[in-house]
């Protein structure tokens, strides 16, 4: 190579990279050099040295000649790819994991340099490799075509700025480096150095299946997640909860129970009658509840036994909790006393509320804690509340007809048998009843949250604070406080008596789609379109846990009653069970094949119910899974959570689920006529 040409290249390279100072210096040096050469000095061993080194020349040439050549990416990547696919089976999956970050960064480099056409061709020819795991990311990236998009798009930006952590065993790492050096693929080496952070470990490669990192690519995320997840959380239940009180009074009662048997039975019968009207189907439910009652005595004994085995730790509430009126407390205690003990062999009964004639307008459904009130939020901004107790009193005629409803007994609003709540000015995306059922909160696309009184059938307060549609709102387990989440990527904590939010939880990288309270009220969990679930401390507003593992947006959340576990359901139909303290996924629950809209734990936490867009309600055995995990922690990656039952509906996607305090499962959904 002609030395002058070479100098020119080096100069051009330096200028292009913006090393102006260095370029200037080089120029001066060259100038001097020439002068020196002219004077015949021999001080320029430096320059001759690099001119004669063939390795260096080659390297410099490769830098200069094809800096702008887009085919280099394609060739480099396809070589690396074919090498990785032909590598040893044992290490292949680890090496293949490197391919995805290299792929997307090659693509973004190409886009960034303005080779739109080549970028698209490159993307299309290799996207098949990654579609299985990263389909949704690819769909997002596919649209990036112009350098400015890289700046604009959150996802792309975070990818560019962060490094991906890849765990890789020593030997795979060596293999990879060897390959890169041998083939002198500096481009690939550059990308790998720039964007991948290898965590090399000694020993045999891990099995590919249980590696979460393979799914989420946003690297900085993983670090912060690891960091955040170190924090301590108190997942225990509240001191002096009603359950506790029940245990105490229960143990006192057991002695005197026999004596009081008569009167108690009377009470129970009364409550049964009340309930039966609430449910709305007198005959069958009465029978059913009689059965419940029969099971109660044994259930109570069983509960006492189990409760002594593993009591959840108790914590103090960090919020000032509202005082519960004695009436409410009494009724809750009564419910708890009459709770049916559920397990994998004792299945719950499921009462299904089907919305008919919704004309595709039902956006959300909510069921009050006792199942007597059902609210539907509609896309025409209206909220409709049905009082099932009244309908039950009116007779069971409504059960038959989809058409003759207007002839039914006139409700408070003329001929309708529901309460119409008007106030929002956009589709209503969520509704939630306060625990006693006296208030209803609704959130809407008009960015507001409204509080309604179910007794007055009137709007009480309008909470404005979010800037974008409010996707979800949830009352705390004790009422008064509520949490909301929105398209503006925040979740907020409110109290009923303030129109301003008390806390704003910011941190999610995309919409916050769902929110759920921890049973001890000290934490809230949020699920987001960034495919993570986060746990926030309500008092400090800090993020205390990040759960990574979902492959698509998280749509539903549920907390186990003992506060130890959380379940989250996503768009693909996967449900994940998380251990809150370790932020680890216990096991994914596969079974649904469409969005999981709703999740609910049974009262004592032994069963998990899930409702999905695939028109089924599924019951999962949770206790076996958690027990088995401990035993199988070392050897097992088998699917430990068992699907116990599947209840298909005729053609009703299940929008909402709730276990009542007595462990009757209520489900709701809108009948969707199959398109013929």
Partner 1 sequence: MSIVPKETIEVIAQSIGITNLSPEAALMLAPDVEYRVREIMQEAIKCMRHSKRTTLTASDVDGALNLRNLEPIYGFASGGPIRFRKAIGHRDLFYTDDREVDFKDVIEAPLPKAPLDTDIVCHWLAIEGVQPAIPENAPLEVIRAPAENQIYQQKDGPLIDIRLPVKHVLSKELQLYFQKIAELTMSKSNPSLFKEALVSLASDSGLHPLVPYFTNFVADEVSRGLNDFLLLSNLMHVVRSLLQNPHIHIEPYLHQLMPSVVTCLVSRKLGNRFADNHWELRDFTANLVALICKRFGNTYITLQSRLTKTLVNALLDPKKALTQHYGAIQGLAALGHNVVRLLVLPNLEPYLSLLEPELDAEKQKNQMKSYEAWRVYGALLRAAGLCIHDRLKIFPYLPSPSPSFLNKGKGKIISTEPNKRKLSVDSSSAMQVDKPMGDDNPPQNSVQPSSSGQASDGNAPESRNAKEKEGSKGRAITMKAILDQVWKNDLDSGRLLVKLHQLYGDRILPFIPSTEMSLFL
Work out whether 344 is an interface residue with partner 1 (CB under 8 A): yes
Tell me which stretch binds partner 1 (CB under 8 A): 180-188, 198-206, 500-508, 638-646.
638-646
* CA terminus-to-terminus distance, the chain: 74
Residue 564: phi and psi, rounded to 5, are -95, -30
Work out whether 113 is an interface residue with partner 1 (CB under 8 A): no
Least gap, CB of 299 to partner 1 (angstroms): 13
Tokens of 596: 């999981």
Work out whether 637 is an interface residue with partner 1 (CB under 8 A): no
CA distances from 42 to 1, 5, 33, 35 (A): 21, 21, 10, 11
> Residues 6 or more apart from 71 whose CB is under 8 A from it?
118
In the sheet with 470-475, reading across from the earlier edge strand, the strands are 470-475, 481-486, 490-495, 503-506
Q: What is the dihedral of CA 557, 559, 560, 562, to 10 degrees?
A: 170
Work out whether 511 is an interface residue with partner 1 (CB under 8 A): yes
For residues 129 and 81, the answer to whether their CB atoms sit within 8 Å is yes
Least gap, CB of 128 to partner 1 (angstroms): 17
Tell me which stretch binds partner 1 (CB under 8 A): 8-16, 185-193, 310-318, 392-400.
392-400
CB closer to partner 1, 376 vs 465 = 376
Work out whether 386 is an interface residue with partner 1 (CB under 8 A): yes
Work out whether 349 is an interface residue with partner 1 (CB under 8 A): yes
CB closer to partner 1, 60 vs 350 = 350
For residues 239 and 314, the answer to whether their CB atoms sit within 8 Å is yes
Among all chains, which residue has been given the structure tokens 């057991």?
254
Q: Which of 553, 557, 522, 598 is nearest to 320 (CA)?
A: 522
For residue 613, how many other CB atoms are within 10 A of its CB?
A: 19
Least gap, CB of 527 to partner 1 (angstroms): 12
Work out whether 359 is an interface residue with partner 1 (CB under 8 A): yes
DSSP string, 281-337: -HHHHHHHHHHHHHHHHHHHHHHHHHHHHSPPPEE--SS-PPPPPHHHHHHHHHHHH
Q: Which of 347, 461, 509, 585 binds partner 1 (CB under 8 A)?
A: 347
Site for partner 1 in 256-285 (CB under 8 A): 279-281, 284
> Residues 6 or more apart from 458 whose CB is under 8 A from it?
452
Work out whether 417 is an interface residue with partner 1 (CB under 8 A): yes
Radius of gyration of the CA atoms of the chain, in A:
32
For residues 224 and 318, the answer to whether their CB atoms sit within 8 Å is no
Work out whether 389 is an interface residue with partner 1 (CB under 8 A): no
305 to 334: interface string for partner 1, x by CB under 8 A: ------------------------------
Work out whether 145 is an interface residue with partner 1 (CB under 8 A): yes
Tell me which stretch binds partner 1 (CB under 8 A): 24-32, 67-75, 314-322, 664-672.
664-672
CB closer to partner 1, 152 vs 240 = 152
Among all chains, which residue has been given the structure tokens 């419910």?
335
Work out whether 673 is an interface residue with partner 1 (CB under 8 A): no
For residues 409 and 449, the answer to whether their CB atoms sit within 8 Å is no
20 to 59: interface string for partner 1, x by CB under 8 A: ----------------------------------------
114 to 133: interface string for partner 1, x by CB under 8 A: --xx--x-------------
Work out whether 104 is an interface residue with partner 1 (CB under 8 A): no
CB closer to partner 1, 94 vs 137 = 137
Site for partner 1 in 551-590 (CB under 8 A): 553, 555, 571
Least gap, CB of 571 to partner 1 (angstroms): 7
Q: Which of 376, 435, 569, 605 binds partner 1 (CB under 8 A)?
A: 376
The neighbouring-strand residues paired with 523 are: 537
CB closer to partner 1, 26 vs 350 = 350
Q: Which of 229, 271, 363, 574 binds partner 1 (CB under 8 A)?
A: 363
For residues 112 and 97, the answer to whether their CB atoms sit within 8 Å is no
Q: Which of 617, 626, 661, 663 binds partner 1 (CB under 8 A)?
A: 617
For residues 569 and 556, the answer to whether their CB atoms sit within 8 Å is yes
Site for partner 1 in 444-483 (CB under 8 A): 445, 468-469, 471
Q: Which of 369, 384, 480, 531 binds partner 1 (CB under 8 A)?
A: 384
- 214 torsion bin: left (phi>0), alpha (psi -120 to 50), beta (else): alpha
CB closer to partner 1, 254 vs 393 = 393
Q: Which of 220, 246, 18, 200 is nearest to 94 (CA)?
A: 200
CB closer to partner 1, 10 vs 595 = 595
């Amino acid at each position: 190579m002609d030395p002058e040409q070479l100098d020119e290249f080096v100069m051009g390279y330096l200028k292009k990279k913006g090393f102006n100072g260095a370029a200037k210096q080089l120029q001066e040096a060259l100038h001097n050099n020439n002068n020196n050469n002219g004077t015949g000095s021999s001080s320029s061993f430096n320059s001759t040295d690099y001119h004669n080194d063939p390795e260096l020349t080659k390297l410099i040439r490769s830098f200069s000649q094809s800096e702008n050549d887009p085919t280099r990416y394609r060739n480099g990547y396809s070589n690396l790819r074919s090498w990785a696919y032909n590598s040893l089976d044992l290490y292949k999956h680890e090496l293949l994991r490197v391919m995805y970050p290299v792929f997307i960064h090659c693509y973004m480099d190409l886009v960034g340099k303005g080779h739109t056409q080549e970028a698209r061709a490159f993307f299309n020819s290799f996207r098949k490799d990654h579609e299985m795991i990263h389909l949704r990311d690819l769909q997002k990236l596919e649209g990036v075509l112009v350098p400015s998009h890289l700046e604009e798009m959150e996802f792309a930006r975070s990818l560019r700025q962060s490094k991906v952590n890849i765990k890789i065993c020593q030997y795979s790492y060596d293999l990879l480096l060897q390959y890169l050096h041998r083939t002198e693929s500096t481009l690939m080496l550059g990308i790998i150095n720039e964007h991948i952070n290898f965590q090399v470990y000694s020993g045999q490669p891990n099995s590919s299946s249980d590696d979460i990192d393979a799914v989420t690519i946003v690297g900085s995320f993983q670090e912060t997640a690891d960091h955040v997840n170190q924090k301590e959380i108190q997942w225990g239940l509240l001191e002096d909860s009603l359950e506790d009180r029940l245990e105490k009074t229960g143990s006192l009662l057991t002695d005197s129970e026999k004596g009081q048997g008569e009167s108690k039975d009377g009470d129970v019968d009364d409550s049964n009658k009340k309930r039966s009207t609430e449910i709305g189907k007198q005959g069958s439910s009465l029978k059913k509840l009689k059965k419940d009652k029969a099971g109660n005595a044994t259930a109570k004994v069983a509960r006492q036994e189990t409760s002594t085995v593993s009591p959840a730790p108790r914590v103090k509430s960090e919020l000032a909790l509202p005082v519960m009126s004695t009436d409410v407390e009494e009724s809750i205690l009564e419910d708890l006393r009459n709770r049916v003990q559920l397990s994998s062999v004792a299945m719950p009964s499921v009462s299904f509320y089907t919305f008919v004639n919704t004309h595709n307008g039902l956006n959300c459904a909510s069921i009050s804690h006792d199942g007597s009130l059902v609210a539907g939020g509609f896309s025409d901004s209206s909220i409709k509340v049905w009082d099932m107790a009244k309908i039950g009193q009116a007779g069971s005629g409504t059960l038959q007809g989809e058409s003759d409803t207007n002839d039914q007994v006139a409700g408070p609003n003329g001929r309708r048998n529901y309460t119409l709540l008007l106030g929002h000015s956009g589709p209503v995306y969520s509704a939630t009843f306060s625990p006693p059922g006296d208030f209803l909160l609704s959130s809407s696309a008009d960015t507001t949250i409204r509080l309604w009184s179910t007794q007055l059938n009137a709007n009480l307060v309008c909470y404005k604070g979010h800037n974008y549609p409010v996707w979800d709102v949830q009352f705390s387990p004790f009422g008064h406080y509520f949490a909301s989440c929105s398209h503006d990527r925040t979740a907020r904590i409110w109290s009923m008596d303030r129109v301003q939010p008390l806390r704003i939880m910011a941190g999610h990288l995309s919409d916050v789609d769902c929110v759920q309270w921890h049973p001890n009220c000290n934490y809230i969990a949020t699920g987001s379109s960034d495919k993570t679930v986060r746990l926030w401390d309500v008092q400090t507003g800090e993020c205390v846990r990040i759960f990574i593992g979902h492959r698509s947006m998280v749509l539903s959340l549920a907390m186990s009653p003992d506060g130890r576990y959380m379940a989250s359901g996503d768009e693909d139909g996967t449900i994940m069970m998380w251990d809150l303290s370790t932020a680890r996924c216990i096991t994914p629950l596969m079974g649904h094949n469409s969005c999981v809209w709703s999740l609910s734990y049974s009262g004592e936490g032994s069963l998990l119910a899930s409702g999905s867009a695939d028109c089924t309600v599924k019951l999962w055995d949770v206790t076996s899974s958690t027990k088995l995990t401990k035993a199988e922690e070392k050897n097992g990656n088998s699917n430990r959570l068992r699907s116990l039952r599947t209840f298909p509906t005729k053609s009703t996607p299940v929008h909402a689920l709730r276990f009542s305090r007595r462990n009757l499962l209520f489900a709701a959904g809108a009948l969707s006529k199959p398109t013929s």
